């Protein structure tokens, strides 16, 4: 258990930014631990979700944004559903990973690559192309054996399409990404 010394490390801007972007009042958290108790991913986290909330409340920017927990959260919404103070904890987790991304953290590179590849597929085709997504993921991570065993079950069932389902308005979708990236840069 690490001790956090608050006299020097409290980053008020960070707290304000998380509260603003998530529209949540973090000072309401009294560390009951309900969110952590129900979080199916606790055993994989470096910091359980209630501690992420506490570290955020106490302005520990670096510790929070470099945390692996942010990338392992599946957005299962059990924390949000069970918080006695109505804090939308899953939304806080989401906002923290937005910030972690913007700050360039990637403690779970495979997960980031999977998510990015997924979105690239949407940007390109308008819909996600499962087979293409897997192929790109494997190329980018070099993990050639990823789920190779499943192909044997999927292929005979026609469950994997070798063709992307490009939509007519794929340019509209690409434009959403383009405008978003532009907004981000400005």
Partner 1 sequence: MSPTYAYYPGCSGLGTSAEYDRSTRAVCKTLGIELVDIPDWSCCGSTPAHTVDHALSCALSARNIGQAEKLDVEGIITPCPSCLTNLKTASHRMRNPEFKARVEKLLDEPVENRLPVMSVLQVLFEQVGPRRIADRVTESLSGLRLAPYYGCIMNRPPEIMDFDDCENPIAMDRLMAALGADIAPFPLKVECCGASFGVARKGMVMKLSGKLLDAAEDVRADAMVTACPLCQMNLDLRQKQINAANNARHNMPVFYYTQLIGKALGLGEDSLMLDNLIVRPVGAFRKMEEVRRSAS
Rule CB under 6 A: choose which of 6, 32, 139, 155 binds ligand SF4. 32
Residue 185 binding result from partner 1, ligand SF4, none, given CB thresholds of 5 to 8 Å by partner type: none
The one segment of 2-10, 14-22, 48-56, 124-132 that binds ligand SF4 by CB under 6 A: 48-56
How far apart CA 180 and CA 153 sit, in angstroms, is 38
For tokens 């997504």, name the residue.
133
Please work out the total of residues on this chain that contact partner 1, with binding judged by CB under 8 A: 60
Tell me how far, at minimum, the Cβ of 99 lies from partner 1, in Å.
11
**For residues 19 and 122, which CB has a smaller minimum distance to partner 1 in the complex?**
122
Interaction between residue 53 and ligand SF4 (CB under 6 A): yes
Please work out the total of residues on this chain that contact ligand SF4, with binding judged by CB under 6 A: 27
**For residues 79 and 133, which CB has a smaller minimum distance to ligand SF4 in the complex?**
79
How far apart CA 179 and CA 19 sit, in angstroms, is 25
**For residues 15 and 134, which CB has a smaller minimum distance to partner 1 in the complex?**
134
**38, exposed or middle or buried, with CB in 10 Å at 0-12, 13-18, 19+?**
middle
Inter-residue contact 47 to 58 (CB < 8 Å): no
Rule CB under 8 A: choose which of 41, 42, 58, 66 binds partner 1. 41
Interaction between residue 81 and partner 1 (CB under 8 A): yes
Inter-residue contact 117 to 139 (CB < 8 Å): no
Task: State which of positions 88-117 bind ligand SF4 (CB under 6 A).
Answer: 89-90, 93
Task: Return residues touching partner 1 (CB under 8 A).
Answer: 40-41, 43-44, 72, 74-78, 80-81, 88, 90, 94-95, 97-98, 101, 108, 110-111, 113-116, 118-119, 122, 126-128, 130-131, 134, 137, 146-147, 149-150, 153-154, 157-161, 165, 167-170, 172-173, 175-177, 179-180, 183
């Amino acid at each position: 258990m690490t001790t956090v010394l608050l006299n020097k490390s409290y980053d008020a801007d960070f707290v304000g930014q998380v509260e603003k972007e998530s529209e949540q009042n973090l000072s309401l958290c009294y560390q009951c631990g309900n969110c952590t108790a129900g979080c199916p991913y606790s055993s994989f986290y470096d910091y359980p979700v209630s501690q992420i909330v506490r570290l955020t409340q106490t302005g520990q920017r670096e510790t929070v944004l470099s945390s692996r927990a942010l990338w392992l959260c599946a957005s299962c919404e059990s924390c949000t559903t069970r918080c006695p103070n109505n804090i939308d904890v899953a939304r806080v987790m989401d906002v923290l990973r937005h910030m972690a991304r913007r700050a360039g953290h990637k403690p779970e590179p495979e997960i980031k690559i999977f998510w990015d590849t997924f979105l690239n597929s949407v940007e390109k085709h308008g819909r996600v192309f499962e087979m293409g997504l897997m192929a790109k993921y494997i190329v980018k991570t070099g993990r050639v054996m990823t789920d190779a065993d499943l192909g044997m079950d999927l292929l005979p069932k026609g469950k994997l399409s070798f063709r992307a389902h490009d939509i007519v308005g794929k340019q509209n979708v690409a434009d959403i990404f383009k405008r978003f990236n532009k907004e981000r840069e400005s």
